[in-house]
Structure 1
């Protein structure tokens, strides 16, 4: 089983794309929440570990998880309100967010007892790593499970508008790398983190996958700190991976983009699913993959992300919508 830990929240999406003052439609979301749903749809056994409100929004969040087949046994419940994120879509389908998280349930997450029996991987990230006091409990959970030999996947999913202390947050993220097997980031995440490192590129730079790519330089630094693979999503330009023995990039899959909400979370789920199908959700597993295998894994993730981008909201694909052979 794969355990996904982190926030569940409600996205408030303008009914009219590009008009933030149009009526808002609530949609269930949050990076870890979307990842758990995507894993379930792909056919991976998955559990969700978070603190979710007992209000109507929280009840709806849990109901959807259960309907999708996600194990909600590790979910903590509390009377605090559900976090809200106002989605501000751009003209190209990209999304920005305004968060409302003061006193909400997910940020009061407490370190849980043992994970469900059979848990062999833990995926963690997004706002859950920023908002205290829950952020400290999530980091402690990551370190505890890594010490028990559990495969750790880290998806920082940086939201600068939530980060009061950028230097401190970068330092805490980098401090998790020795415990991490798979580090997955967006290009924007990677450049933001690298900007605060000695010799790092300024935020907003561009990689593009060419020689002298600042993302590759950053990925090599992070690999030296502990992860076995660093995967960077580049939007429509595709996905890249670096390991100590291989490097590989695949192009994006052309698709009519409705919006990009949940695309990165789908990539995270697809990577975990594809590695799981290959029996590689173990410490040391990703390090053994060669370029050809990584090309198959990344291509599968790119197709899954394209499917998500082709429809409104975080609606990841089901397994039968993707080529079975590509999943391993």
Structure 2
């Protein structure tokens, strides 16, 4: 079983682009979301035995979130409940389909997550990331979960999915991120996240902002929206430093240009993205997380040693599978990851 731990929230997505001709703002449509939540649903749809570990509100949004998990075949026995409201994320969809978010998270249920007892013996992998590792007091509980389960040999995967607007002290967060690396087997992140974590971000708002699910790895109709030139060199240099700190492999996503894996033994392999007409990129990065874990399981590589031993052909298969999955997610509105049957076709 794969456990995904982290926040579940409601995305409020505009029903149309910008104000109407009469100046009226578009309606906001509620959609189930949150990076870890989307990852769990995507894993369930792909057919991986999956459980979700979080704290979810008892309000109507919380019930809808649980129903979405159950509908995807995800085990909810590790979900804690609370009367506090559900976190909301208001989306701003750009013409190219990328999404920025404003978060309403004060006093919400998922921030009060408590460290659970040791996970069941059947758990083979633990995936974490996004807001849950930023917002206290829950962030410290999720961090403790990561460290504890890694220490007992559980395969761990991390997707920081950086949200700079939620991080009051960037340097402190970067140091905290580096402290997690000895406990992480697989690190997945976008180029934008990597630049920000390396302290080399140059965007106007001080960090990446590419939607709840991160960049649209493996999908697009335009050019590569990721880092170019010196930015790419900075990303690779930072990734090599992070590899030396612990992970067996790092997967970088490059928007429509595809994905790259860097391994601890010095290998680097890139696969192109799948070309598709992008509706939006919501949930694309989360789909990549799920597809990587699902395909690694198919290669019997949900252990640090097995991950380190994968060959180039294995990685090409895994990355191409993730690119196809992300492309399907980008081809439809909202975080709607594919089912196994769609990828088989």
TM-score interval w.r.t. the shorter chain? over 0.9
The answer to which of 170-179 and 206-215 deviates more is 206-215
| Contact 1:74–1:116 (CA under 8 A) maintained in structure 2 | no
2:76 maps to 1:72: yes
Q: So what's the TM-score if we normalise by structure 2?
A: 0.89
| Contact 1:18–1:88 (CA under 8 A) maintained in structure 2 | no
Distance 2:159 2:255 in 1: 16
The residue that corresponds to 1:7 in the other structure is: 7
2:260 maps to 1:240: yes
Evaluate the alpha carbon distance shift between residue 178 and residue 218 of structure 1 in structure 2; reply closer, same or farther with a 3 A threshold: same
2:17 maps to 1:17: yes
Match among 252, 268, 284 for residue 305 of structure 2: 284
| Contact 2:296–2:318 (CA under 8 A) maintained in structure 1 | yes
Distance 1:237 1:72 in 2: 35
2:303 maps to 1:299: no
- Structure 2: where are the runs of 5+ without partners? 208-225
Give SS of 1:284's match.
Answer: helix
Evaluate the alpha carbon distance shift between residue 78 and residue 295 of structure 1 in structure 2; reply closer, same or farther with a 3 A threshold: same
Shift of 1:17: 2.9
RMSD: 1.7
Per-residue Cα deviation, 1:83-137 (whole angstroms, up to 9, x for no partner): 0000100010000000000000000000001213400100000000000000000
Give SS of 1:11's match.
Answer: strand
2:219 maps to 1:215: no
Distance 1:212 1:70 in 2: 37
Per-residue Cα deviation, 1:160-216 (whole angstroms, up to 9, x for no partner): 011111111111111000000000001111110011xxxxx4445964499972221
| Contact 1:18–1:89 (CA under 8 A) maintained in structure 2 | no
Distance 2:79 2:34 in 1: 15
| Contact 1:207–1:214 (CA under 8 A) maintained in structure 2 | no
* Pairs within 5 Å for 1:1-328: 1-19=1-19, 21-195=25-199, 201-204=200-203, 207-208=227-228, 213-245=233-265, 246-323=267-344
Give SS of 1:285's match.
Answer: helix
The residue that corresponds to 1:198 in the other structure is: none
Shift of 1:314: 0.1
Shift of 1:64: 1.1
Q: So what's the TM-score if we normalise by structure 1?
A: 0.94
Distance 2:15 2:337 in 1: 20
Distance 1:61 1:30 in 2: 10
The residue that corresponds to 2:220 in the other structure is: none
- Structure 1: where are the runs of 5+ without partners? 196-200
| Contact 1:18–1:90 (CA under 8 A) maintained in structure 2 | no
| Contact 1:154–1:183 (CA under 8 A) maintained in structure 2 | yes
- Count of aligned residue pairs for this structure pair: 319
